[in-house]
Amino acid sequence: MVFPKTPMAQLPTGRDRIEELRMVGITKRFPGVLANDRVDFDVRAGEIHALLGENGAGKSTLMRQLCGLYKPDADEIHLNGALRHFNSPADSIHAGIGMIHQHFMLVPALTVAENVALGLSSSRGPLLDLDRVSKRIDELGKRYSLKVQPDAQVWQLSVGEQQRVEILKALYRGAALLALDEPTAVLTPQEVGELFKVLRQMAADGHALIFISHKLHEIIDVSQRVTVMRDGRVVSTHPTAGSTRAQLASEMVGRPVILEYEKKPYAPPVVGEAPRLEVDDLWVRGDRGRDALRGVSLEVHAGEILGIAGVSGNGQRELAEALTGLRPVAKGHVRVNGRDLTHASPLQRIAAGQSAIPEERMKDGVVKDFSVAENLILQDHGHAPFSRGGFMDPTAITRESAALVKGFNVKTPTLDTPTKNLSGGNIQKLILARELSRKPAVLICAQPSRGVDIGATEYIHQRLLEQRERGMATLLISEDLDELLALSDRIGVMYEGRLMAVMDRAEATLARLGLLMAGVSS
C-alpha cells in the first residue's frame, strides 16, 4: 500500500496521526504454547477497535509485541504503510504508541505533574519544568475532558482519576495510538460512562484506539470494529454494529453460550426461620490498622445468594477474610447456623458447615506444587476415607478425587498432575469441587470468576445455582456486576467499609448500583 507523501494530518496534541497500523502474521511462541498464531490486526485513525478474547487467548501477548515488550518470532508491523520494528518500549513510544495497562504504573507519593514528567527530560535542562508540565496537563485535560489537578498527589486520587492520569501521561508523550488493557475492570458504571466519553472524543480527534476487554456490552457500546481472538488466533474481525452479545460470546468461546441462567424464583424465608449466616455490626481492621469494616450487618438465608458489590478496596476482601477466620474481628458477631463463630479458626468454621472460595486462589485456594488429588483433600485428608490411623489411603484418595474431577469437569491430564499446570478455570473448578463436595450450609464465595474463562464461569455459576436450590446460603462477593445480577437474590453494595444498602435483585439496576458504589446513598 502506498501512501501519498503529503504531510500527515495532525492531532490536536500537535503530533502526527497514525492513519493506519497493521500487524500482519504476528507469531509468538512460548515454551509449549503458541501464544499468537499468524495474527492479523489493524487499527485506523479515528476508530475504536475492540480486541475481544478470553484469558490466554493471546490479546495481551499481541499488545506486548506492539509496545515493544516482547519480540515477535515472525512479525510485520506497518505504521502508516512503513515497516517498523519495535525492539524496546522506547521505540514504540517514540512511534506514537501508548499503552494503558490494567495495573497503573504510577508513583503514589508523587503529584500528577511529577508522574507525567517522570522519565522525560526537562525543557530546562537540569532544572525542573513542572510548571510547564502542569500547564500542558491542563490544556490536554480541557481538550479531552480529563479533569485532574496537576498538583494533586496520586495516592489521593480515586481509581478513575488515576486512570485519567495514565491517559494524560500517554497523550503528553505524544501517543497517537492508545491501547487500553481492560480499562473498565476497576471502574464503577458511572466512571465507565465517563471513560467512554473521553475515548469517543479522542477517536473523533483522530486518535487510533485499541480497547481490550472481555465485557461484551462495553464492546458493543463503544467500539466500531471488533476483532475476536481464541487460542492465539484471530477468529474474526467485523464491524461491531449489528453484533449481539450472544454472537460475540459464541465467537469468543467457539460454541453457543448461555448468558442468562434459568433460575428458580427465590422463596423468601419462612417467618421465624433463622438465617444460616448472620453478621452483626462487624468491625475489622485492615492491613494498615485502619478500620476496613465499619459496622457491617447482613444475613443470608438458606437457599439464598446475597451478592456484595463494590469497587475493589472498600472492605470486601476484609469481609471475606474475617468470615473465613483469616483476619481477627475487632467488634461484632458472626453466627453460622446459629453458632457463634466470631473468633473461630478456619478449622472450626469448616466443621460448622461453612465452605469458602478464596479471592486469591493461587495463594489461599490451592498448594500449587501439590497434585490435583492432593489439593482435592486439603481439608478432608485427616479422616476417613482419605486416611486411617494417621496413614493416607492412596486408593481411596484416587477413587474419590477421580469422582470429583469427573463430577466437576476439571480438565487435567492425570490426578498426579501438579495443580500449577492447570488453567485458571480448571483450578477454580477444582476448588469448587472440593468446597461443594462437603455439602456446605454456608458458602463464602469471593470473585469466583475472576481470571476464569467463559466456559468455566458458566459452569461455576450453574453449580452455585444448583447448590442454592439444595438450600446452601451463599455470600457472593464480586466486582463483576453482570455476575452479581445473574446470580444474586439480593444485592448489597459496600463503600468505605460500610454496607450501603441491600436491595432485592428486581430493584437493582446498573445505575443504582453504580451510584451506591461511588458512595452516593440517596
Give me the residues that bind other proteins (CB under 8 A), please. Answer: 30-31, 33, 35, 55-56, 58, 60-61, 102, 324, 326, 345-347, 349-350, 356, 358, 363-370, 374, 378-379, 381-382, 387, 390-392, 394, 451
Report which secondary-structure segment, H or E, holds 178.
strand 177-181
Region at 360 (left for phi over 0; alpha for psi -120 to 50; beta for the rest): beta
Task: Give the residue with the Cβ less far from other proteins, 342 or 421.
Answer: 421
229 or 405: CB nearest other proteins = 229
| Residue placing its CB nearer to other proteins in the complex, 218 or 359 | 359
**DSSP symbols for 214-265:** S-HHHHHHH-SEEEEEETTEEEEEEESTT--HHHHHHHHHTS----S---PP
Nearer to other proteins, 168 or 444 (CB): 444
Which of 516, 487, 481 lies closest to 217, judged by CA?
A: 481
Q: What is the C-alpha separation between 449 and 461, in angstroms, rounded?
A: 9
Closest distance of CB 108 from other proteins, Å: 22
| Residue 95 vs 373, nearer CB to other proteins | 373
Least distance from other proteins to the Cβ atom of residue 368, Å: 7
Return the closest-CA partner of residue 56 out of 182, 232, 180: 232
Instruction: State how far Cα 412 lies from the chain centre.
Output: 25
In whole angstroms, the minimum distance from the beta carbon of 214 to other proteins comes to 11
Q: How far is the CB of 348 from other proteins (least distance, A)?
A: 8
Q: Which residue's CB is nearer to other proteins, number 138 or number 393?
A: 393
Question: Closest Cα to residue 22, out of 64, 69, 79?
Answer: 79
The SS3 of residue 187 is: coil
Q: How far apart are CA 479 and CA 312, in angstroms?
A: 7
- Using CA atoms, how far apart are residues 202 and 98, in angstroms rounded to an integer? 13
Angstrom distances, CA of residue 82 to CA of 78, 87, 97, 262 = 5, 16, 15, 53
Nearest to 320 by CA among 334, 340, 338: 334
User: Which C-beta is closer to other proteins: that of 378 or that of 501?
Assistant: 378
Q: Which amino acid is at 239?
A: P
Closer to other proteins by Cβ: residue 292 or 427: 427
Q: Is the dihedral of CA 108, 113, 114, 115 positive or negative?
A: positive
List residues bridging with 75 in a β-sheet: none
Minimum Å distance from CB 187 to other proteins? 17
Task: Give whichever of 61 and 111 is closer to other proteins, judged by the CB atom.
Answer: 61
CB of residue 289 to other proteins, shortest distance in Å: 18
- How many other C-beta atoms are found inside a 10 Å radius of the C-beta of residue 383? 9
**Residues with Cβ within 8 Å of residue 117, at least 6 apart in sequence:** 128, 129, 130, 133
Q: How far is the CB of 175 from other proteins (least distance, A)?
A: 22
Nearer to other proteins (CB atom), residue 152 or residue 392: 392
Q: CB of residue 53 vs other proteins: minimum separation in angstroms? A: 11
Four-point Cα dihedral 122, 124, 130, 131, nearest 10: -140
Work out the burial of residue 77: count CB atoms within 10 Å of its CB; fewer than 13 is exposed, 13-18 middle, 19 or more buried. Answer: buried
* CB of 279 vs other proteins, minimal distance in Å: 19
> Minimal distance in Å, beta carbon 102 to other proteins?
7
